[in-house]
Amino acid sequence: MNIMGTPAIEIEGLTKDFPLGFWRRRQRRSLDNLTLQVAEGEVFGFLGPNGAGKTTTLKLLMGLIFPTAGTARIRGRSIDDIGVHSEIGFLPEQPYFYDYLTARELLDYYARFFGYGATERSERVKRFLELVGLTAAAEVQLRKFSKGMLQRVGIAQAILHDPQVVFLDEPMSGLDPVGRREVRDIILALRQQGRTVFFSTHILTDAEMLCDRVAVLLGGKLQGVGAPGDIVSIKVQGMEVLFEALDGRPLPPKLAERATKTGARYRIELPEAELYAALEMLRASEARILSVQPLRPTLEDYFFGLVDREKGASHAVEVDAR
């Protein structure tokens, strides 16, 4: 798995400027001096709002655009080396494929670039179509595919050659909850096989759930790298209680007032000190207690805090900077 401790992905000072304006004289720096490393076998999340530079980073790594400065290596090889591409898979954001081909034809086409014999090729295509749940639509032309189906084809083509490092740009986008779960399962399966997964997303809950580590990008600059839990403070900010009323029994009015109601369910946030008093009140009115959880700032809070700070607004989330 780990070849002499070489990181799977090594990015050093990667910078990208885009020329602006008709005469191309002004520059827009869409990636500023990015430096980070991803170890073999990690599931690494690359987070940031739209326009932060995530897709730019991926395009640089894939060799679709060229860096203004900096270098990158994948499994010890420079990204200029064409051999790297035999070991990596890539799912672009909002993928578009040759719409005149069917799903099977597309996968077969891409499989040809890896030199498989005809039998192995067709076996692989079949296997990965099944993996992403497209067996039924295998002979349908891609121009008839929905966004979600295209996303699945995209994942299939990214991994059908069993790459060691998989790059996914917004892999959950366009998928319904079932689809998203399937993608999560695929990512977890890849991790199980010892592969490295590098995916960008702006959906923080996914990152929290799947990633060993995350990096946060904003305005082209790296804001922080670390395990999701390290990025935000462990400091508990209070408790959350979920409860509902039992058959016609009235609820303690003080609590019911402060709570937010969704259907039959109530949710209230309390400072830790008030917890037991509230629970006692609920117990007395024989309300049904659904859950009691500590409130921790999530990645989302951290995130919005960053964005707000960018915008100059004040906030109260603490950040354990690394």
Partner 1 sequence: MSAARISIPGVVAVNAYREAIRDRVLYNLIFFALMMFGAAILVGQISIGIERLVIVNLGLSAISLIGLIMAIFIGVGLVYKEIEKRTLYSLLAKPVRRWEFLVGKYAGLLLTLAVNTALMALGLAAALYYVSRHFERSDFSILVAIYFILLELALVTALALFFSCFSSPILSTLFTLAIYITGTFAQDIREFGEVTKNPVLLGMTRALYYLLPNFHNFNGIAAAAYGDKIPAALIVQNTLYALLYVSVVLLGASAVFSGRNLK
Told to check if 80 binds partner 1 by CB under 8 A, we report no
- Candidates 24-32, 90-98, 125-133, 199-207: pick the segment binding partner 1 (CB under 8 A): 90-98
Q: In what order do the strands lie in the sheet with 260-262?
A: 260-262, 265-270, 239-244, 288-294
Q: Residue 103 or 231: which CB sits closer to partner 1?
A: 103
Q: Given candidates 41, 45, 92, 179, which one binds partner 1 under the rule CB under 8 A?
A: 92
277 binds partner 1 (CB under 8 A): no
Q: Which of 65, 205, 93, 74 is nearest to 155 (CA)?
A: 93
With a CB cutoff of 8 Å and minimum separation 6, the contacts of 316 are: none
CA atoms within 13 A on the CB side of 213: 13
Instruction: Evaluate whether 7 touches 72 at the Cβ level (below 8 Å).
Output: no
Per CB under 8 A, 62 contacts partner 1: yes
- Of 137, 197, 203, 212, nearest to 174 (Cα)? 203
Amino acid at 26: R
Q: Which of 65, 188, 203, 279 binds partner 1 (CB under 8 A)?
A: 65
Q: Minimum distance from CB of 309 to partner 1 (Å)?
A: 31
Q: Based on the shown chain and the rule CB under 8 A, indicate whether residue 242 belongs to the binding site for partner 1.
A: no
Q: Is 49 in the site for partner 1 (CB under 8 A)?
A: no
Pick out residues in 117-136 that bind partner 1 (CB under 8 A): 117, 120
- Give me the residue label for tokens 């005149």: 100
Specify the pairing of strand 239-244 against strand 221-226.
unpaired
Q: Which of residues 153-192 bind partner 1 (CB under 8 A)?
A: 154, 157-158, 161-162, 167
Binding site for partner 1 (CB under 8 A): 59, 62-66, 82-83, 85-86, 88-92, 95-98, 100-101, 109-110, 112-117, 120, 154, 157-158, 161-162, 167
